[in-house]
Amino acid sequence: MEEVLEDKKGYYVVMEKVAGQDLFETMTGKGLLPVAEVKEVIRQLLQALAELHARNCIHKDLKLENVMFDRTPPANAKADWSSFNSGDQSPVKVKLIDFDTVETVQPQTPKKAKDVLGTDQYIAQEAYDGNYSAASDIFAVGVIGFRLLTAKFPFRPDIFDDEAGDNWVGSPKMKEIRQKLQNYKIDWNHRIFSMEPQARDLLKAMLASNETARPTAKDALSNPWFNETQRRRSLPNLEGGMSPAKSGSAKAVDLLRMASDGA
């Protein structure tokens, strides 16, 4: 988002034209992405969340369709992935979109949601009880990672059998789905996880049914799966606020707040 304008008729949002396709379109009929690209997607998503969460904001609807993916290697890049440093030199560019679900949260005084919002498979167990937090976003990234590596979702689709009007917190159906998810045993026997055990361990932690057991975005970025030889893009100063040069996602949060305050 570049700017929010207002007149007597309404708000006007000036947005960046983002290259590439969303991850759902990228995967449709084209098979799996290379593991190195999946790793870069998850790394950049975690960086975006580290920034968002540092500002006490959560996304609430992370999914393949809300992640733009562009593969445009630098002109002088070699054909193999060993030739680049991650970050600005990566041929993979990932952008998080659809900020209309973003909410500010107060970790010390959390508020319970009245409705369960989000998309089946990506909604964390605690969210079915109205408890959304930064850990709920981390869970959704875990689902994205599982899907990108295996072409499957971690949970059986028949678990999500609610109908229109069932999604209020405390409804029998929301309680039932939450219980099923808490008791569900994810299948980690896919051969990719025997080849990438560090990815398996990271996703297991991110998909933990207990939200307090999930890593923060910043902690997840230190997982050994993200090769130490790759240069990590600088993270926000979580103790002292943002650096003067704000990234696009931080700017988007500011503009969304401006629009909300003026409403």
Q: Which residues contact 253 (CB under 8 A, 6 or more apart)?
A: 52, 55, 57, 99, 102
pLDDT for residue 27: 87
- Which of 75, 135, 81 minimizes the C-alpha distance to 105? 135
The pLDDT, as a whole number, for residue 252 is 52
260/168 Cα distance (integer angstroms): 24
Topology of domain 3-226+247-262, per CATH?
A: Transferase(Phosphotransferase); domain 1 (1.10.510)
Write down the pLDDT at residue 154. Answer: 97
Match 């609430």 to its residue by tokens. 60
Q: How high is the pLDDT of residue 229? A: 42
Q: Which two tokens stand for residue 107?
A: 């970790």
Q: Where are the domains of the chain?
A: 3-226+247-262
Say yes or no to pLDDT of 232 above 50.
Answer: no
Q: What are the tens digits of pLDDT across the range 87-109? A: 455 688 999 988 888 999 987 77
pLDDT at 151: 95
Rounded CA gap, 126 and 137, in Å?
A: 11
The larger pLDDT score, comparing residue 76 to residue 6, is at 6
What is the chain's alpha carbon radius of gyration, rounded to the nearest angstrom? 19
Dist CA 194 CA 197 (whole Å): 6
Residue 139 has pLDDT above 90, yes or no: yes
What would the pLDDT profile of 154-213 be if each residue is shown by its tens digit?
999 999 999 999 999 999 999 999 999 999 999 999 999 999 999 999 999 999 999 999
If you average pLDDT over every residue of the chain, what do you get? 83
**Sheet strands side by side (includes 67-71):** 21-22, 67-71, 92-96
pTM, rounded to two decimals: 0.79
> Which of 34-38, 40-44, 109-113 is predicted least confidently?
109-113
